[in-house]
Amino acid sequence: MSTLTCTLIQTKLFWEDAISNRKMFEEKINSIKEKTEIVILPEMFATGFSMQPERFAETMNGETIEWMKRIASNKKIILTGSLMIEEDGHYFNRLIWMLPNGSYGCYDKRHLFAYGDEHNHYTAGNKRCIASVKGWKINLQVCYDLRFPVWARQSSPSPLVERGQGVGEYDILIYVANWPERRSLAWKVLLQARAIENQCYVIGVNRVANDGNNIYHSGDSMVIDPLGEIMYYKKDEEDIFTIVLDKKHLETIRTKLPFLKDADSFIINNE
């Protein structure tokens, strides 16, 4: 129970073509030879970072959700990534956390990328989603959220600190993204910063190649340990990478360097 195996899929995406993307991802997932527990896909994995949800958004009963249920069940994995979802007349950039039994959790992207006009097409979320797997807590976030450290910050004081059971609201922070190469320095530096300041593992999964707007993505998918050390990094190329995370390593760091105990207390206003 002290380890968790995760697989990152860094890939090109077919622009606004959910059928082709589902087929491509199914082939890639089926090619994974190692035993894995969580498979992580990029942001808007069914379409790319499109601002046309009126044309391409699906419902929570749509084909891509059903596809995720089937893949998670057949492969006995947790499958996660975001897609455009229509619900009650609103569009969301929604991360889905699909369990093998068909149950799922959702996180609606909080920080919409106004520079790319996302705020004019999608509705922002106002609740964090922290999943639980084998005793691990996993904070799920999407792309532009990375620039806003308060939204990812470990709650302090943590109830776990007060009960003397250790430090940390969560153990892993996952970002799925369509982050362009022109701002890749910020992506890499901020992923490391989130790991160091929150004393957690950070996983960032990005896409590669040009999108339908001819914007190039260099990938730069990463896994970072709680000290900020890079455990995995891949630039430009498509890649499927499986890594085992060690809970004992995390707990040792938090015990020897109990920095979170000195953090400021705060409350996030979600309005």
Q: Supply the residues annotated as catalytic.
A: 43, 109, 143
Per DSSP (E only), the strands in 21-122 are 38-40, 78-87, 90-98, 104-108
If 0-12 CB within 10 Å is exposed, 13-18 middle and 19+ buried, where does residue 8 land? buried
Taking the C-alpha atoms of residue 141 and residue 100, their distance in angstroms, rounded to an integer, is: 21
Taking the C-alpha atoms of residue 44 and residue 18, their distance in angstroms, rounded to an integer, is: 10
Q: Residue 248's closest CA among 225, 232, 223? A: 225
